[in-house]
């Protein structure tokens, strides 16, 4: 089992008061809470901070943790002999407090079971049915997945209590169908696919869809935006240009006198809307581009155009 | 392995007070009070018998986490939730403008 230094995580001394621990937690929670933080790895950091606080704010768990001894973070360690019996966790440690079955367990799994919510105390098993916890995962998908729907496999880790009271960490993979109509930031729910209950129903699985950036298309809601470069003469005279969509090329009619930044809507070429056969739109955003190098003939033609044209793009400056 | 179909928590699926409470970890009374504070916008029904769009589940689960993790009371929770909703709206607007300008 790997040691975690909860005091170091909260940045407090080992003899810190409850009040000091609470203050340290609140400060770090404000910084890393994933619902309010933009820090990198906020979710992971908050999990560490929350775990440390859950142990250190509870006198019984804190005492049990302190009695385990102090090691370097990440160091393999074994709680001292008798620790399990002393803190009422002997059932979870097997006969005579042996630790051989706990090697793949997390320190927090063991401490979380103390303090009356005993994961491995007989009292919990006798207390009646307990529903499983909900699980939440963020899943990154591509634009094509949102177009067609997709099947994804989600591995989830749970700590389960075995019939003999021992804790066991299990990984279960759930296959989920993401229906058409989802969008970036969409939340989905799969009933009964969270953590298993103890005699009660399993929790639900909640999925937060995150969209992987696409090489060509920018996505907002169910609409797509595509930058379409056009030559000056195409913008001036109008043209029909082939543009890519998620379902093949279409001909885009560029009207005469178009300007850079102009948006042309291609109806129904965006992403599917939920519970509907309709799709969002694709917006072609025109970018007027000039050749990086020109032949003498091309330059002469531009010079001729400049000579004969009365167009003044800065006329409104006065 | 057969795939389970995930339900979109959007505008098309509706939940009542009891279901919203169960899905968020809030009590029914808290759901009703937060509705009165404007955190949840019911689609229909009278006081205590409201129906909500399932998107409220995500709002409620966040509120529930914030209550637990920061020890907020319902007044504070309503204020924080309202501010976070405004930030969400502004971020959506920024994302839309960025997409349009193809940044």
User: Does position A93 have pLDDT exceeding 80, yes or no?
Assistant: no
The CA distance from A303 to A164, in Å, is 90
Closest approach of B98 to chain A, Cα-based (Å):
9
Lowest mean pLDDT among A83-87, A178-182, B15-19: A83-87
Residue A118: the pLDDT is: 39
- Each residue of A24-74: pLDDT tens digit? 999 999 999 988 888 888 989 999 999 999 999 999 999 999 998 888 888
| Pick from A218, A263, A274: CB nearest B10 | A274
Query: Which B positions 32-51 lie with beta carbon below 8 A of chain A?
Result: none
Closest-CA residue in chain B for A215?
Answer: B102
Domain boundary assignment for chain B: 3-102
Closest-CA residue in chain A for B103?
Answer: A218
User: Are residues B6 and A207, on separate chains, in Cβ contact within 8 Å?
Assistant: yes
Q: How many other CB atoms sit within 10 Å of the CB of residue A160?
A: 15
User: Are residues A187 and B4, on separate chains, in Cβ contact within 8 Å?
Assistant: no
pTM for the whole structure: 0.81
- Each residue of A188-205: pLDDT tens digit? 999 999 998 888 899 999
| Pick from B9, B92, B100: CB nearest A225 | B100
B11 neighbourhood in chain A, CB within 8 Å: 274
B10 neighbourhood in chain A, CB within 8 Å: 181, 186, 274
Residues contacting A104, CB < 8 A, separation 6+: A169
User: Are residues B6 and A36, on separate chains, in Cβ contact within 8 Å?
Assistant: no
| DSSP state at residue B12 | S
Residue of A251, A250, A218 whose CA lies nearest to A234: A251
User: Does position A116 have pLDDT exceeding 70, yes or no?
Assistant: no
Reading chain B (103 residues) residue by residue, the pLDDT tens digits are: 789 999 999 888 999 999 999 999 999 999 999 999 999 999 988 877 899 999 999 999 999 999 999 989 999 999 999 999 999 999 989 988 888 776 6
User: Does position A164 have pLDDT exceeding 80, yes or no?
Assistant: no
Instruction: Provide the mean pLDDT of chain A.
Output: 87
Q: Which residue is associated with the tokens 């169910």?
A: A222
Of the CA atoms within 13 Å of residue A114, those in its CB half-sphere come to 24
Q: How confident is the model at residue A109 (pLDDT cuts 50, 70, 90)?
A: confident
Closest-CA residue in chain B for A263?
Answer: B100
Residue of A86, A94, A28 whose CA lies nearest to A56: A28
Closest approach of A25 to chain B, Cα-based (Å):
9
User: Does position A90 have pLDDT exceeding 80, yes or no?
Assistant: no
The hierarchical CATH code for the domain B3-102 is 1.10.1660.10
User: Are residues A188 and B9, on separate chains, in Cβ contact within 8 Å?
Assistant: yes
User: Does position A123 have pLDDT exceeding 60, yes or no?
Assistant: no
**What are the structural domains, with CATH classification, of chain A?**
6-211 (2.60.260.20), 217-310 (2.60.260.20)
């Amino acid at each position: 089992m790997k040691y975690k230094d909860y005091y170091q995580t909260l940045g407090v001394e080992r003899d810190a008061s409850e009040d000091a621990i609470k203050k340290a937690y609140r400060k770090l929670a404000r910084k890393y809470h994933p619902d309010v933080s933009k820090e990198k790895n906020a979710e992971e950091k908050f999990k560490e901070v929350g775990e440390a606080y859950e142990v250190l704010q509870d006198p019984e768990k804190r005492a049990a943790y302190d009695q385990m001894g102090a090691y370097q973070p990440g160091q393999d360690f074994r709680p001292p002999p008798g620790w399990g019996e002393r803190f009422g966790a002997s059932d979870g440690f097997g006969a005579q407090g042996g630790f051989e079955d706990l090697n793949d367990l997390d320190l927090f799994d063991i401490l979380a079971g103390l303090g009356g919510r005993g994961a491995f105390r007989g009292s919990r098993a006798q207390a009646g049915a307990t529903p499983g916890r909900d699980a939440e995962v963020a899943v990154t998908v591509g634009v094509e997945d949102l177009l067609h729907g997709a099947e994804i496999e989600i591995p989830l880790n749970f700590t389960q209590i075995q019939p003999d009271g021992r804790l066991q960490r299990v990984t279960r993979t759930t296959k989920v169908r993401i229906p058409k109509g989802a969008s970036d930031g969409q939340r989905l729910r799969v009933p009964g696919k969270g953590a298993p209950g103890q005699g009660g129903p399993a929790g639900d699985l909640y999925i937060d869809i995150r969209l992987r950036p696409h090489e060509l298309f920018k996505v907002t809601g169910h609409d797509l935006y595509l930058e379409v470069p056009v030559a000056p003469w195409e913008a001036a005279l109008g043209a029909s240009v082939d543009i890519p969509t998620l379902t093949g090329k279409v001909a885009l009619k560029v009207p005469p006198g178009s300007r850079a930044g102009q948006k042309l809507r291609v109806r129904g070429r965006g992403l599917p809307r939920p519970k509907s056969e309709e799709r969002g739109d694709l917006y072609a955003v025109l970018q007027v581009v000039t050749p990086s190098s020109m032949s003498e003939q091309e330059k002469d033609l531009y010079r001729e155009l400049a000579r004969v044209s009365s167009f003044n793009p800065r006329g409104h400056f006065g | 392995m057969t795939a389970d179909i995930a339900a979109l928590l959007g505008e098309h699926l509706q939940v009542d007070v009891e279901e919203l409470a169960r899905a968020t970890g809030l009590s029914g009374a808290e759901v009703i009070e937060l509705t009165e504070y404007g955190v949840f916008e019911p689609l229909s029904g009278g006081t205590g018998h409201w129906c909500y769009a399932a998107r409220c589940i995500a709002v409620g689960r966040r509120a529930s986490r914030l209550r637990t993790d920061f020890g907020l009371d319902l007044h504070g929770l309503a204020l924080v939730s309202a501010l976070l909703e405004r930030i969400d709206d502004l971020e959506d607007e920024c994302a839309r403008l960025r997409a349009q300008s193809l940044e």
